[in-house]
Chains A and B, each alone.
Chain A
Amino acid sequence: MAEHLIGPAAEFPPGTHRVVRVRSLEVGVFNVAGRYYALPNVCTHQFGPLCEGTVNGTTACDAATGWRFAWVREGEIVTCPWHGLEFDITTGRCLANPRVRLRSYPVTVEDGQVKLIL
């Protein structure tokens, strides 16, 4: 386990994300509403660069929404640019198949610096 400096938190505001390279590993680091998350930049599907995709919300439609389409979870979903698979940034789970879950890496903020722990 080692800490890897990502940069000043002041330059990494909520709603942004970036892909960093640590040794041979590419990791997406996300600031979701002030909380940081990190996921591997590899889609579980065909190994596409997941974290280079857009961060967005998604649709929901169930009994709770009266079976009408709703827009939910704004800023919490990353979509793979290759085939559109959606992942929950906060859990690493694939929305279409929640049994598929990306590993996630801890991220800390110390002295105003964002650090990734690998």
Chain B
Amino acid sequence: MTDQVAERRGTEKLLIVDADVHVSDTPAALAPYCALPWRKSLEALAQTPARYLDIPGFAPSLKLDPPIPGGHAGRSVRTAAEMRAGLDALDIAVGILFPDNLLLFAPIPQIEYATALAEAYNRWLVEEWLQTEPGLYGALLACPQNPEASAREIARYAGHEKIVAVYLPTAGVNPLWGARKYDPILAAAQAAGLPVALHSVTLVSPAFPCQLDQFENHFARQVLSHSFAMQANLVSLMHTGVPARYPELKIVFTEAGVAWVPYMMWRLDKYHQEYRRMVPFLEKRPSEYMKERMWFATQPVEEPDDPADLVATIGLYDGADRTIFASDWPHHDFDHPKAILKLPLGAETKRKIMGENALALFNIPAPDRESAVG
């Protein structure tokens, strides 16, 4: 949009960085990038009729609900050019790419297969998504099934100009992030200067948050799954002293909104003062670590009747500096940038949340192109 158009529409120029958008990572797409024999598995899976986030042996899930015709559109983005066009339509200049199906990566039990699949995804991501279009950056898929190999993978991509984070698959991960078996991954991310980003998805599995099968419908499971996953993994990271043991590591929490953040800050602080001697590696209060080196992505942003209530909530956790915009494009519950832009936030806070915080966090150079949004 030109300056004149922006002026005519009464809009301001604002750089929008989106911390969470999703690429369509089908078995067919990844197969050519996967080592044998597991390429054969992906080629076989490519024959399976595609269902959204539900592919046995690739995106293992237990889908319990009967289909009800209607509802919102299922969307997927299959190429970098498609993604660029989609983000342009949303006035988003920079997007950080996460997978679709491999949101369900953590429950895959076959260790060698999981390792090969993670390597295939990372190669595919770099070669198919990060070469041509401006403003697309990637999060490496970490492999909790094989932390040592995953650490080597992170070191291999360290310094790649378009790799800006390490995605920690969170749905179905067992034990939770923070367990000491994952230390090599966190150490490698810290050494590479890459933030780690937790991302969950609604999943019925024996891992926390388990027993989501008791709910009659996906509505209930969706309400609980992401936010409980983020809270549990935050506690897990804290209870083994990750922020103290990895003092340069930056940690990002995605797709759980932000209103849970002050609640967990207060709750962690309350029990830290009571049980400090169990966690003596925490030399600061948990809330201080959260305010120094943790970031929280907006989507799916809470929508209280009075938007000022959300602004007040963001203030409770020093959110002007801790919050980063995310759309979750193209998923069903994506947030348009206007979901944040309409909030009664100050201009500087808006600039930070919509772009500046994420640029600094992910160490992304400011792009030439800026979006004009209203």
Contacts and interface: CB of A to CB of B under 8 A. Distances in A.
A67 B269 CA distance: 22
Contacts of A69: 280
Contact of A84 (B245, B274, B281, B285): B274
Contacts of B283: 62
Nearest to A69: B280
Interface string A74-108: 00000000011110000000111100000000000
Given A61-B241, A62-B244, A67 B272 contact: no
A83 B274 CA distance: 6
Contacts of B276: 58, 86, 95-96
A61 B283 CA distance: 9
10 contacts: A58-B280, A59-B277, A60-B280, A62-B244, A62-B283, A67-B241, A69-B280, A83-B273, A86-B277, A97-B269
Interface string A12-27: 0000000000000000
B215 interface: no
Given A58-B277, A69-B280, 4 more contacts: A62-B281, A85-B274, A86-B276, A95-B276
B273 A97 contact: yes
A32 B279 CA distance: 25
Interface in A54-68: 58-62, 67
B219 interface: no
A59 B278 CA distance: 8
Interface of A: 45, 58-62, 67, 69, 83-86, 94-97
Contacts of A59: 277-278, 280
A6 to B, nearest CB: 30
B275 interface: yes
Nearest to A95: B276
A58 B272 CA distance: 14
Contacts of B245: 67
Interface string B267-310: 00100111111101101010000000000000000000000000
Contact of B285 (A58, A62, A83, A96): A96
Contacts of A84: 273-275
A60 B281 CA distance: 7
Interface size class, chain B: 10 to 19
A45 B273 contact: yes
A77 B273 CA distance: 14
Nearest to A60: B280
A45 B270 CA distance: 10
Given A96-B285, A97-B285, A61 B280 contact: yes
Nearest to B244: A62
A94 B245 CA distance: 22
A10 to B, nearest CB: 33
Contacts of A96: 272-273, 276, 285
Contacts of A62: 244, 280-281, 283
Nearest to A70: B280
Nearest to A97: B285
A94 B269 CA distance: 13
B184 to A, nearest CB: 15
Contacts of B277: 58-59, 86
Contacts of A85: 273-274
Interface centre among A58, A94, A97 (most CB of B within 10 A): A97
A74 B241 CA distance: 23
Contacts of B285: 96-97
A23 to B, nearest CB: 30
Interface in B224-278: 241, 244-245, 269, 272-278
